[in-house]
Amino acid sequence: MKITISVIKADVGGYVGHSAMHPALIEKAKENLEAAKNKGQLIDFWVMNCGDDLDLIMTHKGGVGEKGIHRLAWDTFMECTQVAKKLKLYGAGQDMLSDAFSGTIKGLGPGVAEMEFEERKSEPVLIFMADKTSPGAWNLPLFKIFGDPFNTAGLVIDPHMHGGFKFRILDILEGKQVTLSCPEELYDILVFLGAPSRYVIEAIYRKSDGEIAAVPSTQKLSLIAGRYVGKDDPVLIVRAQSGFPAVGEVLEPFAFPHLVEGWMRGSHHGPLMPVPFKNATPSRFDGPPRVVAAGFQLNNGKLEGPRDMFDDPSFDRARERANDIADYLRRHGPFEPHRLPLEAMEYTTLPEVRKKLEGRFEEVK
Ligand code: 13P
Ligand code: 13P
Ligand code: MG
Ligand code: MG
């Protein structure tokens, strides 16, 4: 049976500030998706949050980009925005950049990751959700999962994965994409993935049969809005086991809290800290950036789960290290490279401050 997983997310209001989610928003979203399930539009769903981002995890038979599913997500976010406004939550409707739905939720603000596949005999799926960062944050872990034999033993050992994976990479500035093959084009892949503010992974396929393996959200709010409206706070779907990387191989890269852009005012580099659901509450300097992982076993489209995959002492050291890195970076205050480079700051309110001082600059005599 062909199943579609759609993970659609938006920040429709923070509680308190940008730190977490008010339970009333989760309740409202659940109510809407339950109604859609009762009508037969959804097979199953799970609603949760990472920080101030509301995540709708939905399974159905409509395929990728199905208008009805996108409308359901859009209407749900709109109704949750009304709840957020009533409660005077912070930044109510923050990611809702349009007031009209036009057939797809893409380009309207919310983030979208979707994939359709034939459900296997057993289908473990991991859904990652991040707060206070942008889609490029997935480049390093995804490269390690699907391209690095020092991370993923299966690339060496498992004959079904030994052929490697194809990476479809998107240039978010030019709106172009390229598909490169790993391991043959490994060094070419890294030319792009190493520049995560511009190049992001759109999808990863198993080379031997073209099966879809991973799909992240790639939406960049600042490019849609032309100004800073909050960080993108991306999501990611990864299939695991039996010819894909094992669950533990998918989680392994997150034991290294790599530096990502985001954090305070979306304008700083900080470590990505893997946390259990209950700790997805970025508070110190609005961070440091967080990632949670929800594990599901699909059961004819039904979502058995979630398991809270980072709720495990084996990630304690990553969290400690992330706190050490946070201490170190914070000591730089407003200096780069803690603060993002000037090109990235163009979308923030910094240029307004600079403009005020324009008249004070003189030609060098
Ligand atoms: P405002 O307080 O002006 O909304 O901007 C700061 C912000 O939201 C970052 O936390
Ligand atoms: P969010 O993108 O999570 O709303 O964070 C915005 C921000 O400016 C935090 O300081
Ligand atoms: Mg917010
Ligand atoms: Mg957020």
Q: pLDDT digit string (tens) for 247-305?
A: 999 999 999 999 999 999 999 999 999 999 999 999 999 999 999 999 999 999 999 99
For residue 3, report the phi and psi dihedrals to the nearest 5 degrees.
-120, 145
Q: Which of 16, 131, 132 maximizes ligand 2 atoms within 8 Å of its Cβ, making it the mutation to test the pocket? A: 132
- Per-residue pLDDT, 346: 83
Overall number of domains in the chain? 1
pLDDT band at 333 (very low <50, low <70, confident <90, very high): very high
Which ligand number lies closest to the CA of residue 267? 2
Minimum mean pLDDT among 2-6, 105-109, 197-201, 299-303: which range?
Answer: 105-109
From the CA of 17, give the closest atom in ligand 1: 10
Q: What's the 82 CA to ligand 1 centre distance in angstroms?
A: 20
Mean predicted confidence (pLDDT) in 136-143? 98
For residue range 189-206, list pLDDT tens digits in order: 999 999 999 999 999 999
Residue 105 domain-assigned (yes or no): yes
Q: What's the 20 CA to ligand 2 centre distance in angstroms?
A: 11
User: Is the CB of 265 inside a 6 Å radius of any atom of ligand 1?
Assistant: yes
Residue 113 domain-assigned (yes or no): yes
**Integer Cα distance of 162 and 155 in angstroms:** 5
Residues contacting 359, CB < 8 A, separation 6+: none
Residue 51 domain-assigned (yes or no): yes
Q: Which of 95, 221, 227, 265 maximizes ligand 2 atoms within 8 Å of its Cβ, making it the mutation to test the pocket? A: 265
| Beta-carbon count within 10 A of 351 CB | 13
- Per-residue pLDDT, 47: 98
Which residues are catalytically annotated?
A: 11, 228, 231
User: Is the CB of 18 inside a 6 Å radius of any atom of ligand 1?
Assistant: yes
Residue 42 domain-assigned (yes or no): yes
- Percent of the chain whose predicted confidence (pLDDT) is above 70: 100
Mean pLDDT of the chain: 96
Residue 227 domain-assigned (yes or no): no
Residues contacting 200, CB < 8 A, separation 6+: 135, 136, 138, 139, 169, 170, 172, 216, 218
Mean predicted confidence (pLDDT) in 339-351? 89
Mean predicted confidence (pLDDT) in 203-218? 97
| Helical (H) or strand (E) element with 7 | strand 2-10
- Per-residue pLDDT, 182: 98
Q: What's the 152 CA to ligand 3 centre distance in angstroms?
A: 35
Per-residue pLDDT for 186 more than 90? Answer: yes
**Integer Cα distance of 140 and 337 in angstroms:** 19
**Integer Cα distance of 258 and 141 in angstroms:** 9
Mean predicted confidence (pLDDT) in 148-175? 96
For residue range 24-80, list pLDDT tens digits in order: 999 999 999 999 999 999 999 999 999 999 999 999 999 999 999 999 999 999 999
User: Is the CB of 52 inside a 6 Å radius of any atom of ligand 2?
Assistant: yes
301 phi-psi bin (left φ>0, alpha ψ -120 to 50, beta other): left
- Per-residue pLDDT, 221: 87
Per-residue pLDDT for 225 more than 90? Answer: no
Which residue range is the domain that position 77 belongs to?
A: 1-118
Q: What's the 181 CA to ligand 3 centre distance in angstroms?
A: 37
Among protein residues, the one with the nearest Cα to ligand 1's atom 4 is 91
Per-residue pLDDT for 230 more than 90? Answer: no
Residue 324 domain-assigned (yes or no): no
Of the two residues 229 and 110, the one the predictor is more confident about is 110
Among protein residues, the one with the nearest Cα to ligand 2's atom 7 is 265
Q: Any idea what the CATH number is for the domain that residue 18 is in?
A: 3.30.70
Residue 6 domain-assigned (yes or no): yes
Residues contacting 331, CB < 8 A, separation 6+: none
Residue 131 domain-assigned (yes or no): no
